[in-house]
Amino acid sequence: AQADASKGLSLNIEDDNIMAEPGYLEALAKELGTRHPGMTFTAENGIDYRFLDIPVLEQLISLGFRQFNFSAGTISPEEGRTLRADLLAALTRRCAELVIPSVTYAIVGHPGETQEMFDEMCEFASTFGFDRINVFAYSDEETTSAHEMSQKIPAKIINKRADILGKIALEAMEKSLKCEIGKDVEVIIDSESDEHEYLLSAKKLLWAPEIDGEIYINDRTADEELMFGKLYRAKITDIVGNTLT
């Protein structure tokens, strides 16, 4: 948990297994919110969206959840956790409607992942219209149940699949950024940019911290000084590399 005098208490949920018992996470958030009014929550380490539906998502948001990271990995059918594209799409859209940042992670090469399962993930990533997809190649960790599973995928195939999906993710991001040019958006200015002292670093309200990148602020229409942490209306005029300006 992190405490900030200006923002109150915030708790990040690190283990998606907390969703396995129906109602537990909602009860936990409600109890903590009662004890610490104004407390907020995030799920930055990935949450198993298969345990969610729209009513549960909306309830968690009403209880103080302010960010969701969804894992879209094609996981072994032996565990009953194959991709549910329709559900993930619905949850992602609802988060966007409620201005709650959500990040989609794709883990490729999990033991038991077939070529058909991987192709399904690629098709979904190509057609849904994600702003961002973060791609990770599976690797064994001794403390996880997957470490003991059979049907391990050769490293050469894992790396090839990660490269293929990574290119799809990059194309999705570039397409999303190009669609932003000419739009007026609400942004929060965070700090000076690391790129140049005359550029300010900002992000859209819907963007997840340290995940979705930044927007360079390089001009202003009023004489007043721009303030860090303040909400502004900005017009997107260009792209520099993979960064909007």
- Per-residue model confidence (pLDDT) at position 59: 93
Residue 73 has pLDDT above 60, yes or no: no
Residue 55 DSSP SS3: helix
Q: CA separation (Å) from 12 to 15, 43, 45, 64, 78?
A: 9, 6, 8, 11, 29
Residue-wise pLDDT tens digits, 89-131: 899 889 888 878 787 888 888 888 888 888 888 888 888 877 7
Q: Is the pLDDT of residue 171 over 80?
A: yes
pLDDT at 135: 86
Task: Name the DSSP class of 215.
Answer: E
Q: Is the pLDDT of residue 7 over 60?
A: no
Whole-prediction pTM: 0.68
pLDDT of 163 > 90? The answer is yes
42-69 average pLDDT score: 84
Task: Determine the pLDDT at residue 61.
Answer: 93
- Please say whether the beta carbons of 165 and 138 come within 8 A: no
**Measuring CA to CA, which residue among 21, 25, 16 is closest to residue 105?**
16
Average pLDDT over the chain reads: 77
For the cut 60, the answer to whether the pLDDT of residue 183 exceeds it is yes
DSSP state for residue 134 in the 8-state scheme? E
